[in-house]
Amino acid sequence: MNKHLGKQTIRFDNPPVILASSSIVGPREGEGPLATYFDTIIEDELYGESTWEKAESKLIEKALEKVIEKANKTIDDVKYIISGDLLNQLTASTFGIRNFKVPFIGVYGACSTMAESLSVAAIIVEGGFADYVIASTSSHFCCAEKQFRSPLELGGQRPLTSTWTVTGSGAIFLAESGEGPKITYITTGKIVDFNIKDAMNMGAVMAPAAADTIINHFIDTERDENYYDLIVTGDLGKVGKELLLDILKQYNYDITSKYMDCGIEIFEADKQDTHSGGSGCGCGAVTLAGYILSEMGKGKWKKVLFVATGAMLSQVSLQQGESIPGIAHAVAIEN
């Protein structure tokens, strides 16, 4: 049977099961509205390490340990770890998991990484290549500022359209069978570039990519917005949210009543001074692993379309005046 539908979508006939999920966040996220949903809230951004980068690796390590524990498995059961982050050469992931001695596939999708790693993990499990696979990702505010903007020591101002990179890591334990929500479809995004060059306005970069993936998901699966209880994007923020809803309305999809953005949910923007909202790989990851999956377990939502969005820029591409391409990957999670 052909599992590939239309242009970008894969259907899973034996849907992989989310056995467990874990989330670990920084202090600012721990003061936000979703605080009670996270497994661990660290007390300071350095997490007892000497550098921000070491702290981020430790976030991944702890998230993975926690998810294995919550799934009632051991590290030896895990056949693959699929992970990625925002640092050069994915060092947060590779350094974080180096003691686990588990086959590793590194993925980079900027802030869309959670959906990307989950997609790859789901394909491996459903294909029968492994029974247990972990998908994870992380981001750290202080590392990301250094990587993409300017070092914290510069103390520069942040414009109101800018987002705040979430410090945190989320991990999801996928299994061939068992109890839990299932991954039924994935829609893999393509690079979408509307020639935007403002690195302080990622919402505008990623909204067209999110719209493209959502529309193609609907077309490929012959579903529409009425099928889902919740359609959630990774980190569009306030600016990107309005854009996405507008674009989708032009294509006659009105998702307003079912729509949520992890970047808006994770912080209380007015009180926490985070401007347009949260962002980063960790934003979608901890919101999915902490908030959304646990509410799905309680029955608040049954059919969720998780669409993580990424801005595929680098410091070099930015300095050379290139525009910023966006991407979005969708994962349908159903009880």
Partner 1 sequence: MFFELCTLKTGGFIMDYVNAFIVGGIICVIGQILLDKTQLMPARILVLFVTLGVILTALGIYEPIVNFAGAGATVPLPGFGYALAKGVINEVNTEGFMGVLTGGLKATAAGISAVIVFGYIIALIFNPKAKA
List, in order, residues 6 or more apart from 65 with CB less than 8 Å away.
none
Distance (Å, whole) CA 112 – CA 210:
10
Give whichever of 140 and 329 is closer to partner 1, judged by the CB atom.
140
Give whichever of 69 and 193 is closer to partner 1, judged by the CB atom.
193
Residue 184 has φ and ψ, to the nearest 5°, of: -100, -35
In the 8-state DSSP scheme, what is residue 122? H
- Helices 237-250, 202-221: axis angle to 10 degrees equals 40
Burial bucket for residue 4 (CB in 10 Å: 0-12, 13-18, 19+) = exposed
Distance (Å, whole) CA 82 – CA 103:
9
CB 286 within 8 A of CB 211: no
Neighbours of 35 (CB within 10 A): 13
Give whichever of 13 and 153 is closer to partner 1, judged by the CB atom.
153
Give whichever of 56 and 126 is closer to partner 1, judged by the CB atom.
56
Give whichever of 179 and 270 is closer to partner 1, judged by the CB atom.
270
Give whichever of 26 and 290 is closer to partner 1, judged by the CB atom.
26
Residue 125 has φ and ψ, to the nearest 5°, of: -70, -50
Beta-bridge partner residues of 261: 233
Distance (Å, whole) CA 132 – CA 112:
22
Lookup: tokens for 205: 């970069």
Residues engaged in binding partner 1 (CB under 8 A): 26, 28, 44-45, 141-142, 150-154, 156-157, 159, 167, 197-198, 200
Give whichever of 162 and 221 is closer to partner 1, judged by the CB atom.
162
Single-letter amino acid code for the residue at 194: F
